[in-house]
């Protein structure tokens, strides 16, 4: 990248400064930065205004704004600033730690059942919350879930809402209609079978995708990983076929039954059907080993995290889903003969 095309080092009139480039993705680049007034570390995302993905970053900011309206939900990063900086769209947000994929790699390619259960609990709660706001994520992968830092080092955050889409029509107060013959959105390794077949994604697809991700953690590889293909289209077709051909009992053998039941349930959900998140959560939670605490991940076995940790909020009051209103209205109506 030529110097004149580099993102600016100062943003929002000097309130934020970039320090170090952390990485890049299809959307643009991420930098470590600081808020100049108190030297608080932040993450800065840049997206070239001329990029094909633009304005993906603006969309992500809008989604984050909806998710954080009315409070500060656990596992959703705070956005401090969004604006145009030179030839870039820029977003300044709360800095996070390692991704789930980072931890998989540092743990020699797979995670223990104990660790996967703890991760699965939080991931399911994050997805349930996202769905409660009328959104589906549509790009489930280990890189899109990250841990916090310092006292929130055990909190799982859901990130990257560039492909997130409303499944609930707020003007009509109803579920969106099912479209077909769509191209695959998301990451093929984790995508649902219906997403492969070009069906519009809804809540069931996020749930199936996280189910595939959990099995990736447990197994270290999925049967449809690394298939030979000459074109992307052929690769996607082969992955879909392999997903359909692989028996869940074989895929999930030797692991807690809850992971197989999660995938089976998700794959059998209807397009508009409201998922039973409580049932799914309880099945996973019941797999916890005795006396396991929320931060008992395998990477903390040798050394406990430092300082006092911010406890996770217990899932005692699950968020209402948009279609819960319909059920209440149906129960509340009376018929006059």
User: Could you give the angle at the alpha carbon of 216 between the alpha carbons of 213 and 217, nearest 5°?
Assistant: 95
Question: Distance between CA atoms of 8 and 253, rounded to whole angstroms?
Answer: 51
Q: What pLDDT score was predicted for residue 55?
A: 80
Annotated active-site residue 102? The verdict is no
20-42 mean pLDDT:
92
User: Domains in the chain, please, with CATH?
Assistant: 19-31+41-94 (3.30.200.20), 100-312 (1.10.510.10)
Virtual CA dihedral for 56, 59, 63, 64, nearest 10 degrees? 70
18 has pLDDT over 50 = yes
What pLDDT, on the 0 to 100 scale, is given for residue 58?
Answer: 92
User: Residues 42, 34: contact at Cβ < 8 Å?
Assistant: yes
**pLDDT at residue 334, rounded to an integer:** 44
Q: Pick the residue with more confidence: 85 or 4?
A: 85
Average pLDDT of the segment spanning 144-159 = 97
pLDDT of residue 6: 86
**Residue environment code for 269-295, b if the CB has 16+ CB neighbours within 10 A, otherwise e:** bebbebbebeebbebbeebbeeeeeee
| Residue whose pair of structure tokens reads 């993905």 in the numeric block | 53
Average pLDDT of the chain is: 93
Average pLDDT over residues 202-207: 98
Rounded Cα distance, 124 and 119, in Å: 9
Question: Could you tell me if 57 and 91 are in contact, meaning their C-beta atoms sit under 8 angstroms apart?
Answer: yes
**Of 102, 139, 169, 291, which residue is the catalytic one?**
139
Q: Is the pLDDT of residue 20 over 60?
A: yes
Lowest model confidence (mean pLDDT) among 44-53, 57-66, 121-130? 44-53
Closest-CA residue to 211 (of 280, 138, 263): 263
Band (267; pLDDT cuts 50, 70, 90): very high
Per-residue pLDDT at 4:
58
pLDDT score at 326: 65
What is the model's pLDDT at position 329? 59
210 token code pair? 């996280």
pLDDT of 336 above 90: no
DSSP-derived letter for residue 94 is E
Confidence of residue 27 (pLDDT cuts 50, 70, 90): confident
């Amino acid at each position: 990248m030529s110097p004149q095309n580099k993102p600016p080092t100062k943003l929002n009139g000097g309130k934020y400064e970039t320090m170090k480039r952390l990485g890049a993705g299809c959307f643009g680049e991420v930098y470590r930065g600081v808020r100049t007034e108190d030297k608080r570390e932040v993450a800065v995302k840049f997206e070239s205004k001329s990029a094909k993905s633009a304005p993906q970053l603006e969309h992500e900011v809008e989604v984050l704004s909806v998710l954080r309206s009315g409070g500060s939900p656990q596992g959703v990063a705070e956005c401090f600033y969004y604006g145009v900086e030179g030839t870039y769209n820029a977003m300044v947000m709360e800095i996070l730690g390692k991704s789930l994929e980072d931890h998989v790699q540092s743990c020699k390619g797979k995670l223990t059942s104990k660790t996967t259960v703890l991760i699965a609990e939080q991931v399911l709660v994050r997805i349930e919350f996202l769905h409660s706001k009328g959104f589906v994520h549509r790009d489930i992968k280990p890189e899109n879930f990250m841990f916090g830092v310092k006292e929130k080092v055990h909190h799982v955050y859901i990130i990257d809402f560039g492909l997130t889409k409303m499944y609930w029509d707020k003007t009509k107060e109803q579920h969106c209609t099912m479209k077909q013959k769509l191209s695959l959105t998301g990451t093929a390794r984790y995508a649902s079978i219906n997403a492969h077949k070009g069906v519009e994604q809804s809540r069931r697809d996020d749930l199936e995708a996280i189910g595939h991700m959990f099995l990736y953690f447990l197994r270290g590889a999925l049967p449809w990983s690394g298939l030979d293909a000459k074109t992307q289209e052929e690769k996607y077709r082969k992955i879909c076929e392999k997903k359909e051909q692989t028996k869940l009992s074989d895929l999930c053998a030797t692991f807690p039954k809850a992971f197989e039941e999660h995938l089976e349930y998700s794959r059998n959900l209807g397009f508009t059907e409201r998922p039973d998140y409580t049932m799914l959560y309880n099945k996973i939670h019941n797999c916890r080993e005795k006396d396991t605490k929320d931060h008992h991940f395998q990477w903390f076995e040798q050394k406990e995290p430092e300082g006092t940790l911010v406890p996770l909020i217990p899932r005692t009051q699950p968020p209402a889903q948009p279609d819960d209103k319909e059920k209440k209205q149906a129960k509340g109506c009376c018929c006059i003969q």
